[in-house]
Amino acid sequence: MQEPYVAPEWSLGLTHIPISYIKLAQRPTPIHAWNLPDIPAGYHVSIKRDDMTGSTLGGSKARKLEFLLAEAIEQNCDCVITCGGLQSNFCRAVAVACRQLGLECHVLLRCPGDKNPLQVQCDGNLLLSRLVGAHIVLVTPAPYEGKQTESGYIPGLKDKMESLASELRSIGRKPYLMPLGGSSPTGLWGYIEAFREMMDQGVCENFDDLIVTMGSGGTPSALAIANYLTGSKLRIHAVLIVDKTLDEAYELVDKELRHVGLAGGAKARDIINITNSYIGGGYSIYTDQDAEQLITISGSTGIFLDPTYTNKAAKGMLNELVENPSRFKGKRILFMNTGTVLIDHDVESLCSIS
């Protein structure tokens, strides 16, 4: 089940180096040309297919969980507690992976403020989580208010998770707590290792710019850290899809730099370029224009994007190539498709677009 982890030589100065991992992702994932419509002349866009890491574990989540769940098992934990939005991809992936590994899973899901928890429809990711036996706790938006702490938790939500953990300990269980999106010093290693994979695929020689979605911040932080440590000349770009200011987004990356012992050697603004211009109506909210883009891209390229995450990142990339080309280092662009191919959102609104 667990295998010893040998970190890349260029990462050995970091803290929190894992000692083991559990192979959950199907990797390496391929890189190929992405013939998007309306790409400005002279630019060449390719795509890193991390949507192919596995069906029910698809996307960036599987890479993080290889290290997070290995740590849980190392600590002799028998259950996992995590949190997210009502249709969280991460919580679904945690639920599935826990079931595969024989761990009990508890997830705290944010119920929209205008919905009665007793009337929430069990579909999409919520249905998949229930099918694999996850214990679901619906919480109101209130515990999600406030900023993430240094440890990756939102204070009110952490209190609820700790309360549940205390209940489980009282009956002899040993829970492992995972923050939002698995963004922790351990979770970072999923994409530090992914960068090593991309180096083996020739990314540093064949591309100038790398574009990735930014939610809780772990994936872009890990890629930026690895890019910095290797001396790669890639420029890393993150498209923010949560309601945060640029200062707050850069602070998420600086927090991860502090966690791995790089606070004195690098600053977020020096190693990653973040834009927050494509959040739209907010996290998990997408417009008719977003839906039209999703359909256009899937219809013209055969690549499915996630409405909440990678579709907004692709929108940001395409708009910036036209409106702000000086943001990019060169014309060889690589897009990280970290989303999942599961349709777990409001398909009715998508199907109504002709």
SS3 of the chain: helix, strand, coil, percent, to 5: 40, 15, 40
What's the token pair of residue 42? 């002279």
Q: Could you count the other beta carbons within 10 Å of the beta carbon of residue 172?
A: 7
> 């020689």: which residue's tokens?
205
What is the Cα–Cα distance from 73 to 86, expressed in whole angstroms?
27
What's the token pair of residue 23? 């192979």
> 């694999």: which residue's tokens?
132
Residues forming the active site: 88
Among 235, 220, 240, 253, smallest CA distance to 313 is for 240
What's the token pair of residue 34? 């992405």
| Enclosing H/E stretch for 321 | helix 310-323
The three-point CA angle 235-262-250 to 5° equals 55
The three-point CA angle 135-138-140 to 5° equals 160
Q: In the chain, what's the furthest Cα-to-Cα distance? A: 63
Residue 298, CA atoms < 13 Å, CB-side half-sphere: 15
